[in-house]
Structure 1
Amino acid sequence: MNRRHWIARMSGLIAASALPLRATAAGTFPLNKSRAEWKRLLAPEAYAVLFEEATERAGSSPLDAEKRTGTFICAACNQPLFDSAHKYDSGTGWPSFWQPLPDAVGTSTDFKLIYPRTEYHCAHCGGHQGHIFNDGPKPTGKRYCNNGVALKFVLEGDALPALRT
């Protein structure tokens, strides 16, 4: 690859990184609330991660050490996202899973670090959860690296909360 081609390619990636990560127009997700509504409903840290795509500090979430049987749900809308049977200790300091529940998450491409990464979000409200990496355990080989403040844990036997409307 010559220098001119490399510069053009990098310029395109930098320009792409300035674009929105995913559409947030009405109708994109089953649950659509304005940013102002989400800001009123959520703690500041949860709002920043879920709707501004921030990242919490590694090791800061008690859900990283959660070992009980249950379901991890979206902290914004209560959509079930992960079964505890699919959680594992990745050693990264964030709750990690090797597989989400069926139809629970959607993905988009994130260029925030210049190179493309696969971001995943709640399929119900669009809230940012984390990123998918190809260094997870079998059988999928995937690591769904989740921000703990974007999740809530519901112990097996407890009723799941109703989906937010």
Structure 2
Amino acid sequence: MTAVTSAGILLHREGPSGTEVFLGRMGGPFWTRRPRAWTIPKGVHTGDETPLDAARREFEEETGAPPPVGELTLLGAFRQSAAKTVTVFAGRGHADTAFVASNTFELEWPRGSGVLRSFPELEDARWHPLDEARSLVVAGQVAALDALAELLADPDGGDRAGTAP
């Protein structure tokens, strides 16, 4: 099995009820009825670009919103499945950050029909309270939310990998 590496940006802000994070709901028929279908905006990268460059590119491709300007903090690399690892950067979001539109992918649907249909990679993106987000994201991303909570509780935190300009 070939290892897949992805990178993404986890935006956060202080909302009326505490810390909020910006997540996208995955598109396509596989995720339609799944309760844990929210994700950190992210995508695959190759050796041709750094994880940070990939995270910035994917954020814009998947949400239609520009990536945050300024410093991003590396939260770490998190195993999402046996074959996929996601490098996550945290950044402070702005009140006006909102979903615009996502890029699309093609899939034969219904399966076996011979008909290719286009689906958005993300069908929605919005702000969620951090505590609620833990039950919305795919299980492999809960650790990234926990790392963000630790960072915000201890901004000088001693053992994180660092920041990226």
Instruction: Provide TM-score, normalisation by structure 1.
Output: 0.26
User: For the pair shown, which has the larger CA radius of gyration, 1 or 2?
Assistant: 1
Q: Which has the higher strand share?
A: 2
TM-score w.r.t. the length of structure 2 is 0.26
